[in-house]
Amino acid sequence: MSELKLTTKGKMTRQKILSTAEEIFGEKGYFETSIAEITLRAGVAQGTYYNYFSTKKEVFDELIRQLSSSFRHQIKVAMEKETTFEAKQRAGYLAFFEWLTNHRNLYSIVQQSVLVDMKLYRWYYEKIADGFVRAIQEAIDKKECKPLNPETVAYCLMGIGQFIGMRWVFWEEEKVPDEVINEAMDLIFKGIN
């Protein structure tokens, strides 16, 4: 159902279902979660659920798309405030880690998608990579970084963000320490030697 056709109350109800699904999929996993459990915790009737989503898979797909869009937007806004490639990257990582503190279940939900829908799993990472590739190509054009393959660099940078977020935000449920961010930026921009 198109969100544009929903009333304000309808949009709120739809978002409540998505937020509740995020919690439960994160806690129990896709296969162990039922529509009945989502509607019960969300405080909506099952019939109401079907006004917005026709299946459990549909809410799962929409949830991954929404989470992806949300954090990519936050990163974009943070990066637009900076002028250099290095400053933009730092701002992007900081924005992602900040966003992640309120959406820790992202990791378990995305990892589940490899079993639920491999195309969706790949789409999720390719959308992130696309943004990185554009930023890296722009930095190459401005001679702010070496003329390496932008896709290779993108996936390397994505790995750094993925695992730092996993280590501190997802596993430890804390903020990424400043020294970790500083060391990551030092590694990215100065190398390991």
Portions of the chain given CATH number 1.10.10.60? 1-54
CA atoms within 13 A on the CB side of 160: 21
Task: Say what the pTM is.
Answer: 0.91
Best CA proximity match to 129, nearest among 137, 119, 118 = 137
Measure the CA–CA gap between 185 and 14, rounded to whole angstroms.
39
Number of continuous H segments (helices) and E segments (strands) in the chain: 9, 0
Do residues 47 and 13 lie in contact, with contact meaning Cβ atoms separated by under 8 Å? no
Do residues 18 and 1 lie in contact, with contact meaning Cβ atoms separated by under 8 Å? no
Measure the CA–CA gap between 93 and 161, rounded to whole angstroms.
7
| pLDDT (0 to 100) of residue 173 | 87
Portions of the chain given CATH number 1.10.357.10? 57-190
Measure the CA–CA gap between 35 and 8, rounded to whole angstroms.
23
Measure the CA–CA gap between 130 and 96, rounded to whole angstroms.
16
- CA pseudo-torsion sign 178, 184, 189, 193: positive
CATH architecture of 57-190: Orthogonal Bundle (1.10)
Instruction: Give the three-class secondary structure for 32.
Output: coil
Q: Which class in CATH covers the domain with range 1-54? A: mainly alpha
Do residues 181 and 94 lie in contact, with contact meaning Cβ atoms separated by under 8 Å? yes
pLDDT per residue, tens digit, the chain (193 aa), is 445 578 899 999 999 999 999 999 999 999 999 999 999 999 999 999 999 999 999 999 999 999 999 999 999 999 999 999 999 999 999 999 999 999 999 999 999 999 999 999 999 999 999 999 999 999 999 999 999 999 999 999 999 999 999 999 999 989 999 999 999 999 999 998 8
Do residues 22 and 44 lie in contact, with contact meaning Cβ atoms separated by under 8 Å? no
CA angle centred on 135, ends 87 and 118, rounded to 5°: 120
Best CA proximity match to 117, nearest among 64, 39, 49, 53 = 64
Q: How many CB atoms lie within 10 A of CB 185?
A: 16
Structure tokens at 15: 């978002």
First to last CA, the chain: 53
| pLDDT (0 to 100) of residue 127 | 97
Instruction: Give the three-class secondary structure for 2.
Output: coil
